[in-house]
Amino acid sequence: MSTSFPSFGTHSLSDWEKAANKSAPHGDIAQLNWHTPDGITVKPLYTAQDLHGLNLTNTLPGFAPFLRGPQATMYAVRPWTIRQYAGFSTAEESNAFYRKALAAGGQGVSVAFDLATHRGYDSDHPRVMGDVGKAGVAIDSVEDMKILFDQIPLDQVSVSMTMNGAVLPVLAGYIIAAEEQGVSQAQLSGTIQNDILKEFMVRNTYIYPPEPSMRIIGDIIAYTAEHMPKFNSISISGYHMQEAGANQALELALTLADGQEYVKTAMAKGLDVDAFAGRLSFFWAIGMNFYLEIAKMRAARLLWCRIMQGVGAQNPKSWMLRTHCQTSGWSLTAQDPYNNIVRTTIEAMAAVFGGTQSLHTNSFDEAIALPTEFSARIARNTQLIIQEETHIPHVIDPWAGSYMMEKLTQDMADEAWKIIEEVQAMGGMTKAVGSGWAKLKIEAAAADKQARIDSGQDVIVGVNKYTLATEDTVEARDIDNVKVRESQIERLKRIKSQRNSQAVLAALDALTEAAQKNTGNLLALTVEAMRLRATVGEVSDALEKVFGRHRADTQKVSGVYAAAYDDGSHEGDTMAYWEQLKADIAAFADKQGRRPRVMISKLGQDGHDRGAKVVATAFADLGFDVDIGPLFQTPEECARQAIENDVHAVGVSTLAAGHKTLVPAIIAELKKQGGEGIIVFVGGVIPKQDYEMLYASGVKGIYGPGTPIPVSAKDVLTQIQLALAQAQ
């Protein structure tokens, strides 16, 4: 039996356009084009004509320009490494989690440190009362590191550490913990993030200013090149840029420009580029923009090869871009949170199709609190299912030759290269960061994204469309911050009482002198100090005497959020709500003789300021007077500034679980300093079960992830009016 088919390929593109125009909006096929925030136009149909002039389709995996992957066989021989990024308050609890994860199929350890450690403070420092153990594991000394890796064979298990500010004492502590486990430095494998430039743009867990921070990076690259040949000395991170609001092209461009700057820094120290470039790695965020994320990773390898050949690298291993990926934390929603399992799965597949070397999948409850063991198991099993059940790993770069993917890869590379050339024209990323240009670019993209969500242009299922009438409560992990801090302080006292204090002081003085005279290798000197049981805080203080602590400017973008409403593309309830709110704020100003004034504040050591900056921008665009408090304020400092600036309200933005300690403290301080008429509202990652406690402490409004900013602004305005009425 035979079946005959009509011949294919006899129709032209114009034939398709005629057919498509019949069903396209307004009879115009161009209406189906999607214009991405990156400046890329994505068409509904791609053909061979789109590949005309491109030279991407003749490449092979494992060979320059590595478009199809850095290894010849990729996952067909060895799948990506499954890592789960985690740190739970104490070294003991984190160690238990790592060991369980490794036994259940995890293939590497990825450490999340608490914010006190990131910022170079010991747990007994008064500025970190609300931060110890809250968003990761507290590490004060080698003794904590030894507990963290107890019964984990460091000669067999690779360790990734997300650390930038206190990178010297943390890396040194890991080296010594391994030594005392019987593992030499040459046997250690893994990665230290050590990417300080992005901290000044987005994450803000820096300690020292840019110039001395770059010196530290150079010293670490030099030390590891000599002593730790299997260890990646830097993980150049775009992840936090996308989490802070950057689109894919901006994340790609700024990350590669950071990498270029680090390479030049190491070469300026006299290092041969081929001696260290093979141990550089990258770190990408993978969000819900499925096609563009795959194209971004393919374009990244293409452009890095171009950059490294441009600086004179001769070894093909120096041209390869190797990367770790993590699914987006920002895309996770507190509303209908089980949807996040689907989001993470889609993002994980994009990372795999893009050719990642290792992957962390976020847990579905991370928009609410630190993950539970239950949610972490689902996240880990997501990767195991992709590896073991789907057969996806059997094919190397299955998107190769796709008309759409090859064109998107080139478009992504072209858009990113334009930005890289703009950075080069400024004199490189250190200058682009120092001027504030890079940070403002990201903040503008974040404000634009939030406005598109709040106005309904971008759909988030369960948040601004298909919402539930009632939300089920999800179990959330709760950390007893006071108990953790007391435990850490007790261990610190014990260490200090048992060590040779005179030897420690001499080692710390040697560090200070090397910083002052620009001599020696700072990591080598830190290893000596930590071996003698100097603490993370003491090492940081020894360098701070010379380098100082960096203070960031509190700039904000303006007009970007409002543009999404004012472009004439919105009608109906959304636009009417926006215009009515602006009118209400104007009426308030007429009646009171001044506009409603709010201060947006970050308390404690939480430097993640995307939410704070977006809220400040949106409130200002609506007509509020907006002050932004400096990062890392104590409740006392925040209350003083709020009273001095005569604000009506303080908005506390929190992502690091310090709200139970810090928010009641700011309310108490306002009353203590005579500002009891100033209302307090809170936004960010706050479990529903904490709402009652916060309201009982005096909070007037709580706005979790997914709350449209105009809705929160309306409520803040109402609360200010009520407070003024009660005061009369």
Neighbours of 490 (CB within 10 A): 12
In sequence order, what E strands does 615-692 have? 625-628, 649-654, 679-684
> Which residues on neighbouring strands pair with residue 681, listed in sequence order?
651, 701
- Nearest residue to 319 (alpha-carbon basis) of 305, 302, 301: 305
The gap from C-alpha 73 to its chain's centroid, in whole angstroms, comes to 30
Q: Which of 124, 448, 606, 621 is catalytic?
A: 606
CB 537 within 8 A of CB 121: yes
Per-residue CA distances from 709 to 157, 627, 701 (Å):
45, 17, 13
Q: Distance (Å, rounded) from C-alpha 111 to C-alpha 89?
A: 12
Q: Two tokens at 313? A: 């690298």
CB neighbour burial string for 318-343, b if at least 16 within 10 angstroms, e if fewer: bbbbbbbbbbbbbbbbbbbbebbbeb
Neighbours of 390 (CB within 10 A): 11
- Nearest residue to 600 (alpha-carbon basis) of 680, 656, 673, 675: 680
3 state SS of 713: helix
Phi, psi of 104 (to 5 degrees): -95, 10
Q: Which of 118, 198, 240, 556 is catalytic?
A: 240
- Nearest residue to 160 (alpha-carbon basis) of 323, 403, 275, 368: 323
Q: Two tokens at 699? A: 């909070």
> Among this protein's residues, is 240 annotated catalytic?
yes
Q: Two tokens at 178? A: 């391994």
Phi, psi of 82 (to 5 degrees): -90, 115
Q: At what angle do helices 167-179 and 522-531 cross, to 10 degrees?
A: 60
> Among this protein's residues, is 324 annotated catalytic?
no
DSSP state of 279: G
Q: Two tokens at 265? A: 């820094």
3 state SS of 600: strand
> Among this protein's residues, is 714 annotated catalytic?
no
Q: Which of 75, 174, 223, 239 is catalytic?
A: 239
> Among this protein's residues, is 613 annotated catalytic?
no
3 state SS of 477: coil
Q: Which of 118, 198, 324, 608 is catalytic?
A: 608
Q: Which of 407, 602, 648, 700 is catalytic?
A: 602
CB 496 within 8 A of CB 537: no
Q: At what angle do helices 210-227 and 167-179 cross, to 10 degrees?
A: 20
Phi, psi of 376 (to 5 degrees): -65, -35
CB 423 within 8 A of CB 256: no
> Among this protein's residues, is 703 annotated catalytic?
no
Q: Which of 38, 75, 85, 648 is catalytic?
A: 85
> Among this protein's residues, is 239 annotated catalytic?
yes
Catalogue the active-site residues. 85, 239-240, 602, 606, 608
